[in-house]
Each structure stands twice: as structure tokens, then as C-alpha cells.
Amino acid sequence: MQQQNRGISGVTADEVFIGNGVSELIDLSLRALLNPGDEVLVPSPDYPLWSAAVALNGGVVRHYSCSTDKGFLPDVADIESLINGKTKAIVVINPNNPSGAVYDEKTLTGIVELAERHKLVLMADEIYDQMVYDDAEFIPMATLASNAVCLTFSGLSKVYRACGYRVGWCVFSGELDRAEEYIHSMELLSALRLCSNVPGQWAVQTALGGFQSIRELVAPGGRLYQSRQAVIDRVGESRFLTAQRPMGAMYAFIRLDPRFSGRFDDQAFALELLESHHVLVAPGSSFNTPYTDHFRITTLPDTETINIVFDRIETCLEQHT
Ligand SMILES: Cc1ncc(COP(=O)(O)O)c(C=O)c1O
């Protein structure tokens, strides 16, 4: 129904797989697709479950760069340069965890064209689909990809704040004739785990059909909006930090000043912050980046807590200057 409302044609309940969260469906969909040595293009920074699940299912991860100086947008030419005879799929995470980037139509169309030309499967992880801020617009990949096999992943964990329910879905769309064998493999693997959590599934219709409280949370004055603004303000005031404005999801991917480079990397920073200042952040390189000067923070705590956190970050960095 959600896909039909978005104007994605040809999708029926037969093309929808329900899983114990998107996490399980990422694993299932890669297991159904990959033969040993097949390659999958995954963004860097990534949501690391994607890279891990490719490797666990016998595949090889090729990271395409979504670099800071390009606003964390994928570079279509860079993605194309990684494609070879073994490439099977392109993973796109939009809105993005950890960068908060929301991809524009030109970028998405460029990726869809690559998938069409090279007959690659598109795997669109859109679990943050309604978490966008200011004038950012979320464009579902499947609306652009009628001539490629496209898998859209979403669920109850983020937009509906019910991660403990363990409900996610994966919807096949586009060139379904080419996906028959793939869908059949998904059916077999889904049957192997018998079913996904049933009580959680009862919440899906109410969540998707009911009042969309997320809209108020991400609008100016809303709880998530205000927390994100507090992060943007504090990074702006900092002598040590810079960041792209997160336009979606619930994270900011923050860069440490170059003066720390070579002597205080992201792992050391995160550990010291935790042990000495009792603040938990995720080191940037845990999202499979080649650089070590970023960290990820969530924009979930209230503004008061965020201010305390940034006071402590400043104190920690001050001690290293
Ligand atoms: C991009 C992305 N995909 C998937 C997931 C996993 O979601 P689920 O709780 O549905 O397994 C997360 C959770 O952090 C995520 O950030």
C-alpha cells in the first residue's frame, strides 16, 4: 500500500517480505543474491551491517566514497569505476546513517542509470524515509527505477520509534520478470526461518495508516528538529569541530580539527570521551571510512543533554591542544 501510494506500479503483497527488522532482511536478501566472490557496492561511510552481511554471505564489499567535501553525496562516476563482471548490486542508504545526507534526484537518477546499464540490483535502505528537515526532499529510489530490479527496505524501528518490535519490510519492484528466481530464493529463505515476529506485524497497519507523528517531530519546533539544531549550533560554535548540516535521519557526522591528526584519532577520542567524560559517540572509522578524524553523534537526546555533551567534548579536546 505504501509503495502503491508512492506511485510504484506492479507491486502486490507477493513482492513484500516482512522480517525481524531490516537487519534480518539485509542478510536474507544478500544470501539469496550472492555467489562466492560476487561484489556489492556499499557506501563509505556505511551502515556497517551492510558490509558485514556482504562478507558473511560470501560476497566482496567495494566501498564507494561519499566524501565530506561533496556533502556526503555519492559520486556516480566513482561508483561506475568500481563496476566489473562480478558486481551484483549497489546499496544506497538514503536518508543516510551516519552522515545525515539526503540524496537529490540527479544523484539518484545517475545511480539508477548505472544499475540499468550494468544490470545491477538496487538495494535502497530507506529506513529513515520520513525523517527529513527544512527543505530536504526524500525521493524513493523505486519511483525512479522501473527498468532495474529494486529492493526497498524500511520498517518500524526509526520513523515509528518501535525498534524493539523487530519489524521491517523489503519490497521488490521494477523489472520483476528478471527477479523471479531471486524472489523464489527469498521465499525459500523466509520459509526456512518460518516467520517473522507476528505480534509486531499487527502494529504495521496502524503505523503506516495512522497519524504520522514523525512529521511534527522533524518540523521546526519539534523534538528531533530542536535536538538537531542544538547539534548544528554547538558544532558551529566549537573551535575544534566542523560538520555538514544533517538534512535527514538522526545523526551528525562530525569532523575533528586537523590539528589532532596523526596523534588523536577517532578511536582514541571516543574511548577517552567514554572513560573520562562519560559520553558515548561512535568513531567514524567504524563506518568503514579510510579516514580517522570523524565521529558520529545521534541527534536524539534533548537539547539540554546535547549541550552538556558538547561542553564535555570541548573540555576533552581542550586538554589535547
Ligand atoms: C541505515 C539502517 N538500516 C537498517 C537498520 C536496522 O534497522 P532494524 O531495526 O529494522 O533492523 C538501521 C538501524 O540503525 C539503520 O541505521
- pLDDT tens digits, 17-44: 999 999 999 999 999 999 999 999 999 9
Q: How many CA atoms lie within 13 A of 104 on its CB side?
A: 9
Ligand 1 centroid to residue 23 C-alpha, Å: 6
pLDDT at 13 over 90: no
pLDDT digits (tens, 9 = 90+) for 219-271: 999 999 999 999 999 999 999 999 999 999 999 999 999 999 888 899 999 99
pTM score, whole prediction? 0.96
What is the percent of the chain where pLDDT is above 70? Answer: 100
* Integer Cα distance of 141 and 94 in angstroms: 9
111: closest CA among 101, 121, 96, 102? 121
Residue 138 has pLDDT above 80, yes or no: yes
The span from the CA of 307 to the CA of 173, in Å, is 44
> Does residue 292 contact residue 285 with C-beta atoms inside 8 Å?
yes
CATH class of 220-318: alpha beta
Domain map of the chain by residue range?
A: 2-209, 220-318
State the CATH architecture for 2-209.
3-Layer(aba) Sandwich (3.40)
pLDDT of 178 reads 95
Using CA atoms, how far apart are residues 310 and 137, in angstroms rounded to an integer? Answer: 29
Of 233, 271, 273, which Cα lies nearest the Cα of 252? 233
Residue 174 has pLDDT above 90, yes or no: yes
125 CA from centroid of ligand 1 (Å):
8
Residue of 30, 47, 130, 250 best suited for mutating to test ligand 1, as the one with most atoms within 8 Å of CB: 47
At residue 166 the predicted structure's pLDDT band, cuts being 50, 70 and 90, is very high
Confidence of residue 143 (pLDDT cuts 50, 70, 90): very high
pLDDT of residue 106: 97
Query: If you average pLDDT over every residue of the chain, what do you get?
Result: 95
Length of the chain equals 321
Which is more confident, 90 or 261? 90
